Amino acid sequence: MREEIQDNIKRLVNFLGFTKSFFIRKNPFKALAESLLSSLKEMLTIRQKLKMAKYRVNYHKHQLYKMESLIAESNEHTFLRGKNLNETR
């Protein structure tokens, strides 16, 4: 009976040693805190990121419009540039 209790106590101490070394190695509480802080930072900066994304989309739309207008000006087919077609009538 005594040997069983001693064996169980040794196993418990061994298990506690493993859990202590795991917490030293991985530190789940620190990882949880870092995850929460990064999520909070993302939530606070989401408006700025949305504004930058809208700006980029509008800028690229403008660039595309400029490219299309330049292509239409130099195109010999006049279906894209109605102004010149109306002037020649």
**Are residue 14 and residue 51 in the same domain, yes or no?**
no
**Are residue 33 and residue 57 in the same domain, yes or no?**
no
**Are residue 63 and residue 30 in the same domain, yes or no?**
no
**Are residue 31 and residue 52 in the same domain, yes or no?**
no
| Residue-by-residue pLDDT tens, the chain, 89 positions | 889 999 999 999 999 999 999 999 999 899 999 999 999 999 999 999 999 999 999 999 999 999 888 877 776 665 555 555 545 54
Question: Which pLDDT value is given to residue 2?
Answer: 87
Q: Are 75 and 81 in contact (CB under 8 A)?
A: yes
| Angle made by CA atoms 10, 1, 12, in degrees to the nearest 5 | 20
Question: Which pLDDT value is given to residue 73?
Answer: 74
Distances (CA, A) of 65 to 58, 71, 75: 10, 10, 15
Structural domain including 6 reads 1-44
The whole model's pTM is what?
Answer: 0.49
**Are residue 51 and residue 39 in the same domain, yes or no?**
no
Q: For the chain, state the CA radius of gyration.
A: 34
